[in-house]
Amino acid sequence: MTHITKLRILAARIAVIAALFVSSFGLAASATASAAPAIKPVPQAPTQNTLSAPLASKDQIHTNIATPAIAWTASLSASSTSLWPTQYTTLTAAANQDVGPTPYYLSIYDNTAAANVAICGTGTTCTASVTQPTATTHSYTAYVSGYPSVHPPTNIQATSGTVSVTWKGLGISLQAPTPTAGVNGNVTLTSTASTDLGPTPFYAEIVDTNTNTVVGSPCGFTTTCTAYVAQTIATTHRFVAYISSYSTSLPLSNVQATSNAAFGTWNNNGYRVTSLTTARTAFGQDTVMATTNVNVGPTPYYIEIFNTHTGARVAVCGTGTSCSGTASLGFGRNDFVAFVSGYSTSLPPVNTQANSTIATDYFFIIIRP
């Protein structure tokens, strides 16, 4: 082998190695570039059959055509039976024979909404992509029949089994771990969703209902979302968290869940509600107790406790560092908040100096057979 031949072989080997290196580097660069987008994609409807208009002449054309000797069968399937609201599932109805040369139609009926979602006059399959804006369950059935202008359709030749599709529900709660701060200081707000929002099309949003603004940034991943809010004057604000489509301003769209109300107070006097507790003392009743860091007796203020859902005042005390009252519980979740404030029956009370975190109790009645 000559020296030139060896150099040519060596050059060819170097070229192969370089090509492999470039290919590997390109793959690595592609993987690095595939970071999650800041805003999750909005669900889009797949291509589907639309509701066909009645073919006025179809029954007339096929009046003299004998029904096929083979008995009709119909089946129905869904690409997914468990989704988040606004996501789509594709329903596919199938017949064992082409309905085109016959007087019959293949259709899909939404039993829950009492409406057809697809009607096909030809072929052996018929599809419909369906979604729901909020949590619900719908059931669907496919038919081979005369034109389905009524339900049940006339001249039914075959009926499928029922397919149920569930669009799952979401929940959210809101807490103010540091509910009182000095003027220009931060009140911390934390929302907690019932499930990781990452796989859903939705975001957690915290809204200041006094200013009708979204505070902090929408959170589309994990279960918690935190916002820090400061005010330049002494004031009290009410906050509510939502699960909705992405938005940085109101109104929010596709709202899936609404939290309890939470409150934040900014004041430089140093008053604090140090604790708020609930204890079941009788069937359907709680004793709710608030504790403060100052005796309100020598001050113009009161300790007041409210039910955040009904706005009803549970207790009011004009002296001491603690205050308690008996609250009647509603079915499900019950939320309470306490204030150091002026005497008031409104929520939030006037002249609020401090407020507590939210105390929650759940009341359920279990009926056994």
Q: Give the confidence band of 291 by pLDDT, cuts at 50, 70, 90.
A: very high
Task: Return residue ranges of the chain for CATH 2.60.40.2470.
Answer: 170-268
Report the run of H or E that residue 12 belongs to, with start and end.
Answer: helix 3-33
DSSP 274-323: EEEEEEEEETTEEEEEEEESS-STTSS-EEEEEETTT--EEEEESSSSEE
Specify the pLDDT at position 53: 52
Three-state secondary structure of 113-178: CCEEEEEECCCCEEEEEECCCCCEEEEEEEEEECCCCCCCCCCCCEECCCEEEEECCCCEEEEEEE
Residue 218, pLDDT above cutoff 60: yes
pLDDT tens for each residue of 25-48: 333 332 222 334 468 888 988 876
| Domain 58-167, CATH among 1.20.1730.10, 3.90.226.10, 2.60.40.10, 1.20.1440.230 | 2.60.40.10
288 beta partners: 278, 325
Mean pLDDT of 320-347: 96
Specify the pLDDT at position 10: 40
How far apart are alpha carbons 161 and 78 in whole angstroms? Answer: 12
Q: Mean pLDDT in the chain?
A: 88
The SS3 call for residue 348 is: coil
Task: Return residue ranges of the chain for CATH 2.60.40.10.
Answer: 58-167
224: left (phi over 0), alpha (psi -120 to 50) or beta: beta
Residue 108, pLDDT above cutoff 50: yes
CB of 111 within 8 A of CB of 79?
no
CATH topology of domain 170-268: Immunoglobulin-like (2.60.40)
Share of the chain above pLDDT 70, in %: 83
DSSP character for 69? S
* Phi, psi dihedral angles at 167 (to 5 degrees): -100, 115
Report the run of H or E that residue 203 belongs to, with start and end.
Answer: strand 203-208
CB of 43 within 8 A of CB of 201?
yes
**119 C-beta neighbours (distance < 10 Å), count:** 24
Q: Does the domain at residues 271-369 carry the CATH identifier 2.60.120? A: no
Rounded to 5 degrees, what angle do the CA atoms 155, 73, 58 make? 45
How far apart are alpha carbons 149 and 76 in whole angstroms? Answer: 20
Instruction: Specify the pTM.
Output: 0.82
